[in-house]
Amino acid sequence: MSPLRVRIWRGAETGNFSEYEVPREESQTVLDVVTYVQRKLDPSLAYRFACRVGMCGSCAMTVNGVSRWTCRTHVAKVADDNKLEIGPLHNLPVIRDLVTDMREFFNKWAKAKGQFTGSRTRHEEFERVAPESAERQQVDAGIECIGCGVCYSSCDVVSWNPEYLGPAALNRAWTLEQDVRDAAKGERLRAVAGDAGCHSCHTHMSCTERCPKQISPTAGIAGLKRAVLKAALKGEL
Amino acid sequence: MNARTQAWLWIGQRASAAVLALCVVVHLCTIIYAVRGGLTGAEILSRTRGNFGWLGFYTVFVLAVAVHAPIGLRAILTEWFAWRSPARDWALLAFAIGLAFMGLRAVFAVFT
């Protein structure tokens, strides 16, 4: 197999792509390519990874312009004529090379009231949630988010409106709104309504198309719009 | 503007879109019916003058436009031109009033 020609972003907000030649391997992932460059060609290259098996959500980058989890993206699937262009995620400040500042991304989870608020104490019985109930199934559909930022990086609305909470935070809010144990539903709906929240979504569905965990934040955001509508009509918003 | 008002703007835009969908279908059907054998001002006026049905229909149509268009324009101004200050909403309120005024004026002109 002929070697890969790889262009990797070097710098911060300003910088340029540097070109490297990387040997092609069987079952090679994009993360393998970046790791090869850092270990064999240029130790100053900055990038993030941890688990290497699609659990931690730390290795997301753009590959040939598309945001992806690199540890589970095979080169064979994405290389264009044996060429790869690897850059940092979009819509986030670049710290260095392939490392972005994820603070705003996670701060928005907090703004969307992304934390569970229970109503029982340790002295009470566990609340029982039937696995086949409609609410639990909705939670199941969205709960596997690993916080990689691929949806946030792919979202046009985030790039147009920096206040927009983004697909991941809204998906998190939706799973909590469907959690029958949660006691902060009204407060959370107020936090996710309006210009910065679910009502700004244009339903482009880039988040749903790109989510490596096959979650549909678009469906969750639509659910939030319905929930806000019901609350508004009842005068509870 | 608080999140509750913003949510109501979204609801207003969706509800007015539903009204507009119906109004546009009726309007297009009327045009197709009306242009048979040529279209004249006198023919239009003979249909609309003193007709409370058309007065009511086009009043609803104009009001739905006056609700729908400024809210959509608000998203465009926010996302494409980064205009997020309160002045944007005042300007759009003036735009909505202008649309309603001009539209209703036209509706009454063909009624009386």
A197 touches chain B (CB under 8 A): yes
A193-229 pLDDT, tens digit per residue, is 989 999 999 999 999 999 999 999 999 999 999 999 9
Q: Would you place residue B43 in the very low, low, confident or very high pLDDT band (cuts 50, 70, 90)?
A: confident
pLDDT at A55: 96
A87 touches chain B (CB under 8 A): no
A116 touches chain B (CB under 8 A): no
pLDDT at B39: 84
pLDDT at A122: 92
Across A144-157, average pLDDT? 98
What percent of chain A lies above the pLDDT cut of 70?
A: 100
Across A121-135, average pLDDT? 93
**Contact in structure between A86 and A97 (CB atoms under 8 Å):** no
What percent of chain B lies above the pLDDT cut of 90?
A: 84
* pLDDT over 90 (residue B38): no
User: What is the spatial distance between Cα A198 and Cα A218, in angstroms, rounded to a whole number?
Assistant: 9
Across A32-61, average pLDDT? 97
Closest A-chain CA to B13: A199
B10 touches chain A (CB under 8 A): yes
Closest B-chain CA to A186: B4
* pLDDT over 90 (residue B98): yes
CB-CB neighbors (< 8 A) of A196 in chain B: 3
* pLDDT over 80 (residue B37): no
pLDDT at B36: 86
pLDDT at A90: 97
A157 touches chain B (CB under 8 A): yes
pLDDT at B15: 97
Across B83-112, average pLDDT? 96
CB-CB neighbors (< 8 A) of A228 in chain B: 7
**What value, to the nearest 5°, has the Cα angle with vertex B110 and ends B107 and B112?**
105
User: What is the spatial distance between Cα A37 and Cα A35, in angstroms, rounded to a whole number?
Assistant: 5
User: What is the spatial distance between Cα A174 and Cα A178, in angstroms, rounded to a whole number?
Assistant: 6
Give the total residue count for chain A. 237
Q: Would you place residue B34 in the very low, low, confident or very high pLDDT band (cuts 50, 70, 90)?
A: confident
pLDDT at A12: 96
Residues B3, A161: C-beta atoms closer than 8 Å: no
* pLDDT over 90 (residue A237): no
Closest A-chain CA to B8: A232
Closest A-chain CA to B9: A194
User: What is the spatial distance between Cα A44 and Cα A8, in angstroms, rounded to a whole number?
Assistant: 12
* pLDDT over 80 (residue A124): yes
User: What is the spatial distance between Cα A216 and Cα A153, in angstroms, rounded to a whole number?
Assistant: 15
B75 touches chain A (CB under 8 A): yes
pLDDT at A1: 82
What ipTM score was computed for the predicted complex, to two decimals?
0.84
CB-CB neighbors (< 8 A) of A232 in chain B: 4, 7-8, 11
Residues A160, B6: C-beta atoms closer than 8 Å: no
Please list, in sequence order, all residues whose beta carbon lies within 8 angstroms of the beta carbon of residue A12, skipping any fewer than 6 positions away: A94, A95, A96
* pLDDT over 80 (residue A102): yes
CB-CB neighbors (< 8 A) of A157 in chain B: 79
Query: What sections of chain B are H helices per DSSP?
Result: 3-34, 41-48, 52-81, 86-111
CA distance A31 to chain B (A): 34
Residues A190, B11: C-beta atoms closer than 8 Å: no
User: What is the spatial distance between Cα A147 and Cα A102, in angstroms, rounded to a whole number?
Assistant: 10
A55-96 pLDDT, tens digit per residue, is 999 999 999 999 999 999 999 999 999 999 999 999 999 999
CB-CB neighbors (< 8 A) of B7 in chain A: 193-194, 199, 228-229, 232, 237
Q: Would you place residue B3 in the very low, low, confident or very high pLDDT band (cuts 50, 70, 90)?
A: confident
